[in-house]
């Protein structure tokens, strides 16, 4: 392709909602033979809503110290939701937005925070795992809250490997989360530990409830995947979410189960890309393999390492800033079908316009 053809191609991309960061991108894109999709926010809409909510404090007595001096609309029936929303307030993750939005309508969350001396600090997003924050209120106390995956919610502050927490509560969490997953919801754990006890290993972290989040499939996901397969492209899905949920989604959009990787860390996603880039298929000459570039499509902070590692990183425009920055192509309209448009365009530029 001539430089002019590449320039024209980039321009055509722009009018079709594709932000292509340089001519070299189109050259790599026309060699793509494998596309790896993220799940949450990419194959699913990311406009998630809160489904089931199981509050473990429901059966506690009101003289429990955790239930005293709470903000006015917060009680034992919504303590878990309130704390989860506090911790998720600063996260861009689709699950976070579902939790915060629900809390806003259910307990007037905004009011609670600004008017009643509630202080939320030390907010941290741990990509692929969840969020953590310190929630404080005079008279009530100071608690570290975690929302997210089982092992993360269970772990001691600052520790990467898991310290056990109160087993009966934890077992109830597992039971409830499995129940949520069977209904197709993403189950997350909400746990707390008092700020006074963070260095005291005898004090356990408590799971105070689990939240189920409903996320629907992106309308174009199934047809996009079918179209890519028609172009002779192998399609994979790689997610930080649990296997049960991942398989259900893959099946619904037509991705083979052997091409599904679940429970994958952000680094694990990048490792998968390297593995796919290096593999050599049966009966394939080295020359053919060098043609086989790998594209990644993702939306989250947790996808940014993989997006950078990929030969062609493609970010959903509505995704997080970090993902958009790490990508080579941005789908400005956030329409998944534009993945096909981008790859098709690159093939036109490099194979037909000479
Ligand atoms: P995906 O790879 O499908 O985009 P993520 O890596 O973003 O999924 O998330 C994987 C899992 O980590 C989620 O299913 C959830 O259990 C947990 N998680 C990640 N971020 C959050 C968050 N902000 N709040 C709660 N849980 C989270
Ligand atoms: Mg995602």
Asked which of 158, 183, 214 is the last residue of a domain, the reply is 214
* 345 plus 225 within the same structural domain: yes
Ligand 1: residue whose CA is nearest its atom 20: 130
CA distance 145 to 135: 7
CA distance 150 to 187: 9
According to the model, what pLDDT value does residue 209 have?
94
Ligand nearest to the CA of 133: 1
42 CA: nearest ligand 1 atom? 4
Instruction: Reply yes or no on whether the pLDDT at 291 is more than 60.
Output: yes
Please report the DSSP string for 17-51 in residue order: TEEE--HHHHHHHTTEEEEEE-IIIIIB-S--EEE
Mean pLDDT of all residues in 19-34: 93
Contact 73, 112 (CB under 8 A): yes
Residues with a catalytic annotation lie at: 38
Report the number of distinct structural domains present in the chain.
2
- Whether 215 is in the pocket of ligand 1, judged by its Cβ within 6 Å, is no
For residue 298, the CA-to-ligand 2 centroid distance in Å is 6
149 CA: nearest ligand 1 atom? 16
Asked which of 214, 234, 261 is the last residue of a domain, the reply is 214
Percent of residues, the chain, with pLDDT higher than 70? 88
Instruction: Reply yes or no on whether the pLDDT at 110 is more than 90.
Output: no
* 25 plus 109 within the same structural domain: no
Range scoring the smallest mean pLDDT among 25-34, 132-141, 227-236, 287-296? 287-296
Q: Within a domain: residue 283?
A: yes
Ligand 1: residue whose CA is nearest its atom 14: 241
Res. 354 pLDDT band, cuts 50 70 90: very low
For residue 282, the CA-to-ligand 1 centroid distance in Å is 35
- Whether 76 is in the pocket of ligand 1, judged by its Cβ within 6 Å, is no
According to the model, what pLDDT value does residue 257 have?
95
According to the model, what pLDDT value does residue 63 have?
79
For residue 265, the CA-to-ligand 1 centroid distance in Å is 10
Res. 151 pLDDT band, cuts 50 70 90: confident
pLDDT in tens, 199-214: 555 556 789 999 999 9
What is the chain's mean pLDDT, rounded?
88
Ligand 1: residue whose CA is nearest its atom 7: 128
* 227 plus 283 within the same structural domain: yes
Domain with 270 in it: 13-45+218-352
- Whether 128 is in the pocket of ligand 1, judged by its Cβ within 6 Å, is yes
pLDDT in tens, 158-217: 554 555 555 556 788 899 998 888 777 889 999 998 887 665 555 567 899 999 999 889
Q: Which of 55-64, 189-198, 223-232 has the highest mean pLDDT?
A: 223-232
For ligand 2, a single-atom ion, which residues have Cβ within 5 Å? 38, 40-41, 299-300
Query: Is pLDDT larger for residue 330 or for residue 94?
Result: 330
Per-residue tokens: 119: 């202080």
Instruction: Reply yes or no on whether the pLDDT at 111 is more than 80.
Output: no
Range scoring the smallest mean pLDDT among 141-150, 172-181, 275-284, 332-341? 275-284
CA distance 179 to 18: 41
* 145 plus 62 within the same structural domain: yes
According to the model, what pLDDT value does residue 154 have?
81
pLDDT in tens, 247-283: 989 999 999 999 999 999 999 999 999 999 998 665 5
Res. 87 pLDDT band, cuts 50 70 90: very high
- CA-to-CA separations, 353 to 6, 231, 275, 345, 346, in angstroms, rounded: 9, 19, 33, 11, 10
Report the CATH number at residue 121: 3.40.1110.10
Q: Within a domain: residue 109?
A: yes
* 143 plus 246 within the same structural domain: no
CA distance 269 to 209: 29
ipTM, two decimals: 0.96
């Amino acid at each position: 392709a001539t430089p002019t053809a590449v320039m024209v191609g980039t321009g055509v991309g722009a009018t079709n909602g594709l932000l292509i960061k340089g001519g070299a991108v189109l050259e790599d894109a026309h060699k793509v033979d494998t596309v790896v999709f993220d799940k949450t926010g990419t194959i699913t809409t990311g406009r998630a809503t809160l489904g089931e909510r199981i509050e473990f404090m429901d059966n506690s007595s009101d003289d429990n110290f955790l239930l005293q001096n709470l903000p006015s609309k917060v009680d034992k029936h919504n303590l878990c939701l309130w704390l989860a929303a506090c911790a998720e307030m600063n996260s861009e993750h689709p699950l976070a937005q579902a939790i915060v939005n629900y809390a806003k309508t259910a307990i007037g969350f905004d009011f609670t925070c600004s008017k009643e001396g509630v202080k939320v600090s030390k907010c941290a997003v741990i990509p692929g795992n969840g969020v953590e924050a310190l929630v404080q209120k005079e008279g009530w106390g100071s608690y570290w809250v975690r929302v997210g995956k089982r092992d993360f919610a269970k772990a001691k502050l600052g520790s990467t490997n898991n310290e056990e927490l109160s087993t009966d509560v934890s077992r109830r969490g597992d039971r409830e989360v499995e129940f949520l997953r069977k209904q197709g919801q993403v189950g997350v754990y909400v746990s707390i530990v008092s700020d006074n006890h963070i260095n005291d290993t005898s004090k356990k972290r408590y799971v105070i409830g689990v939240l189920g989040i409903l996320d629907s499939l992106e309308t174009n996901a199934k047809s996009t995947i079918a179209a890519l397969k028609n172009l002779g492209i192998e399609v994979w899905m790689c997610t930080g979410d649990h296997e049960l949920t991942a398989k259900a989604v893959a099946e619904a959009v037509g991705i083979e189960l052997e091409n599904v990787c679940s429970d994958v860390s952000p680094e694990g996603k990048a490792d998968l890309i390297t593995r796919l880039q290096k593999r050599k298929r049966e009966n394939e000459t080295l020359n053919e393999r060098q043609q086989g570039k790998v594209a990644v499509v993702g939306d989250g902070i947790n996808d940014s390492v993989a997006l950078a590692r990929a030969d062609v990183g493609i970010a959903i425009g509505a995704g997080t800033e970090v993902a958009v920055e790490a990508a080579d192509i941005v789908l400005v309209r956030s329409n998944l079908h534009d993945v096909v448009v981008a790859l098709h365009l690159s093939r036109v530029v490099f194979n037909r316009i000479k």
